[in-house]
A = this chain, B = another copy of it.
């Protein structure tokens, strides 16, 4: 935790940004909720608990900054809000997500399974891949017994 914060401080200084108390509080909230996918509003409410004077705009600005520096990733699960998550250590690409249409939970595939497909894309489309987004929508293992007809679980509300 402390090491991660220090590391981020260095990443910021490397680009001559300061790790202000507000930024540090935001970073800590993100680290403490690393397995979640928090929205800016989520982060704001959590940061307020430890730094009540922080403004929403600062949270947005900090998230944007961390995203620009590739310290965190911006995510969009099609529910109308941008979500954020820490980027794993050496992760080259976004990892994959499994979104349950029944309970809403989000699971992760942290290994990159797209290698072979990306080779095909580069070859067949002459498209140089920089990053990707892969999300599966379906029924998670926790819900499978409660869902009789999975085909009826509509994903049309999700983009």
Contact = CB atoms under 8 A, between A and B. Distances in A.
A137 interface: yes
A159 interface: yes
B144 A131 contact: no
A76 B130 contact: no
Copies in the complex: 2
A43 B158 CA distance: 19
A156 B117 contact: no
A156 B71 CA distance: 10
Interface stretch (A16-24, A27-35, A107-115): A107-115
Nearest to A97: B133
Most buried by B among A118, A136, A151: A136
A67 interface: yes
Interface residues of A, number: 46
Contact of A98 (B127, B138, B150): B127
A121 B98 contact: yes
A159 B74 CA distance: 5
Contacts of A117: 113-114, 117
B130 A150 contact: yes
A51 interface: no
Interface of A: 67-68, 70, 74-76, 78, 82-83, 98, 100-101, 107, 109, 113-114, 117-118, 120-121, 125-141, 144, 150-151, 153-156, 158-159
